[in-house]
A and B are shown apart, each in its own frame.
Chain A
């Protein structure tokens, strides 16, 4: 049961050889194939909470390390920066700091300077200005008739479809290019993988970093992969997703209509728990209740084990799984308002789901509604809340 830790970093599961690839090509496979062909392309991975995005990012990194001349750097942005204060430059500076650490000593003067610049941009610095210069206006020119003239800028009507990179971003991108070129002798291509940006609820700050940082990193000749918010799939968010060269949706695994999906989740659990402790029948129920959400699969199996242990039984039974699913569903139902319940009831009974509001999208992000994208896309409520919704429907 110690291997059933829903809060463990996926890095640990991969290290312990607990990773099981999805049937067919995975997001990691696509990433590697495309980055091999286009080393400085940009990629966005989205998906619901606990769907395995970080795992795919890490597997992508692992596979890229086996490609000659490629180095992939994994950066968990939330570990190095307060995501509530995300703004343009942050990803660029994190990329610069990471690349700067990749040089063996001694380094050239240009590399030294680039590394120093990124440290300054990351941690701040003091600059001295001559106060007499501040606020001084340019003296007016006078023309041939001795009239005093001032320049007035009249804006052109054409607006470039892609706004120019800001001057400060361009400066950072140039320094990033210096670092990349410095590495070129030993590593031809560098790819940076940014994790944790999927937690952002403020699409404005995400749009800002995509608009400036991602383009700047690409312009410096690096490949870039970002785990971003699921909201970028819908409404105005879609224009942000479109800025990337490639988009991947890590959806839930279909355990209801796809036998391969069900077997895949079964294999994940079997790698972590022996049949003596979690017999096949109970395992099958855990898989069904998980709805194909990887973290929920682990969490439910662990809770079912605890239910059995608490009852003094050393083997998980179907009733223990059902108790665990009931507790899980109750947690998922917390905080929902009447309008959200109405939407969930419609998804449960009619399998229809149209994302018209932020609240609807939140139901997907928080996996109360699950989307399956194998074949024709379909929606379902999380299997642990389906019986609770049914109870609600039959009571006043």
Chain B
């Protein structure tokens, strides 16, 4: 059984971000690695109507990310993404320099399941700022067209040589392997209620 953050649709996430007085808030949104750019882009366009927002993408290391966030002073919300290449030492460095992330606005980290694990393990001080403000984005409800959803499901079926029925049965039994792809599979099948069983 794997314990993961709860699932949240993008509009619900936007609602929560805009509802909170933003000073110093840090959020984490978990997305499949290959959809991070799209999730971040959608997030920016949805937030732009509400507040000032800046996307900080593709920083090559922790130092570059921190200075990019610091340069965005005055922007209410910073979306940090494209940091999938960050290793343990980058997260440790972010943790050491956490005070420099303190700002009047909010920060949203859009990261993959692997990166969120690294964040909690190697940046415990930053994670304590996040607290429970961490969700998995529900890609099936908003982000993907029906065709894209079907295409991703097909890729999973072929990649793992398993059917949807088998996945649902294993999840219900609580014996689905813990790889993030299986979680995505359940999300795409619109059965996030079974995620807690994986």
Question: Which of B23, B96, B98, B175 neighbours the largest number of chain A CB atoms within 10 Å of its CB?
Answer: B96
A-B contact count (CB 8 A): 125
| Residue of chain B at shortest CB distance from A328 | B132
Q: Could you tell me the distance between the alpha carbons of A276 and B114 in the complex, rounded to whole angstroms?
A: 41
**Is B25 a contact of A392 with CB atoms below 8 Å?**
no
Q: Could you tell me the distance between the alpha carbons of A206 and B125 in the complex, rounded to whole angstroms?
A: 18
Question: Which of A49, A300, A309 neighbours the largest number of chain B CB atoms within 10 Å of its CB?
Answer: A49
Supply 6 A–B pairs (Cβ within 8 Å), ascending by A: A7-B25, A8-B24, A76-B99, A310-B15, A331-B127, A334-B121
Cβ contacts under 8 Å, A391 to chain B: 1, 3, 196
Q: Could you tell me the distance between the alpha carbons of A2 and B116 in the complex, rounded to whole angstroms?
A: 27
Cβ contacts under 8 Å, B149 to chain A: none
Q: Could you tell me the distance between the alpha carbons of A392 and B197 in the complex, rounded to whole angstroms?
A: 9
Cβ contacts under 8 Å, A84 to chain B: 92-93, 96-97
**Is B134 a contact of A327 with CB atoms below 8 Å?**
yes
Question: Which of A199, A295, A324 neighbours the largest number of chain B CB atoms within 10 Å of its CB?
Answer: A199
**Is B131 a contact of A330 with CB atoms below 8 Å?**
no
Return A381 CB to nearest CB of chain B, in Å. 13
Q: A78-B97, A82-B97 known; A330 and B23 CB under 8 Å?
A: no
Task: Name B residues whose Cβ lies closer than 8 Å to a Cβ of A.
Answer: 1, 3-6, 12, 15-16, 19-21, 23-26, 92-93, 95-100, 102, 116-121, 124-125, 127-135, 174-175, 196-197
Return A189 CB to nearest CB of chain B, in Å. 28
Task: Name A residues whose Cβ lies closer than 8 Å to a Cβ of B.
Answer: 1-2, 5-9, 49-50, 76, 78-79, 82-84, 196, 199-201, 295-296, 299-300, 302-303, 306, 309-310, 324-335, 362, 365-367, 388, 391-392, 395-396
Cβ contacts under 8 Å, B20 to chain A: 302, 306
**Is A5 a contact of B1 with CB atoms below 8 Å?**
no
Q: A79-B99, A365-B124, A395-B1 known; A299 and B21 CB under 8 Å?
A: no
**Is B6 a contact of A78 with CB atoms below 8 Å?**
no
Q: Could you tell me the distance between the alpha carbons of A392 and B178 in the complex, rounded to whole angstroms?
A: 13
| Residue of chain A at shortest CB distance from B103 | A7
Q: Could you tell me the distance between the alpha carbons of A306 and B118 in the complex, rounded to whole angstroms?
A: 26
**Is B124 a contact of A5 with CB atoms below 8 Å?**
no
Q: A199-B125, A330-B6 known; A335 and B118 CB under 8 Å?
A: yes
Cβ contacts under 8 Å, A200 to chain B: 96
